Structure 1
């Protein structure tokens, strides 16, 4: 019975840490996109759309900053 409790607690802890790690990565990516957008609400929406595009196309995290910077430079105030 003691091993069962330890196993369940360990699995729950590992799951929680994995979930937290994924959430923090998402928050960091979103914060990066919003920081490149500045104060313009239209540009913020544009950058969030570009972030979704980058995630759906499989842009790696190492290249994400450069990719988002280029997207911010190509923004023309739509």
Structure 2
């Protein structure tokens, strides 16, 4: 019975750490997109759409900053 308790708590702890890691990565990507947008609300929405597009295209995380910078440069100035 002791082994079962240890196993269950270990699995639950590993799951929690994995979940937390993924949430922090998503938060960092979201923050990066918003930081490239500045205070312009239109550009912020545009950058969040580009972030969603990058996720759909499965852009690798190491390439994401350059990809988002290129997307920010392509934002139509008003």
* TMscore range, shorter length: over 0.9
What is the aligned residue count?
78
How much has 1:13 moved relative to structure 2?
0.1
1: CA distance, partners of 2:8 / 2:59: 36
Q: State the Cα RMSD in Å.
A: 0.9
Q: Is the 1:33–1:48 Cα contact (8 Å) retained in structure 2?
A: yes
TM-score normalised by structure 1 residue count: 0.97
How far apart are 1:54 and its partner, in Å? Answer: 0.4
- Give the secondary-structure state (helix, strand or coil) at the position aligned to 2:35: helix
Q: Which consecutive unaligned segments of at least 5 residues does structure 1 have?
A: none
Deviation of the 1:71 alpha carbon? 0.4
TM-score for both structures, normalised by structure 2: 0.97
Gaps of 5+ in 2: none
For the Cα contact (< 8 Å) 1:43–1:77, is it kept in 2?
no
Structure 2 residue aligned with 1:66: 66
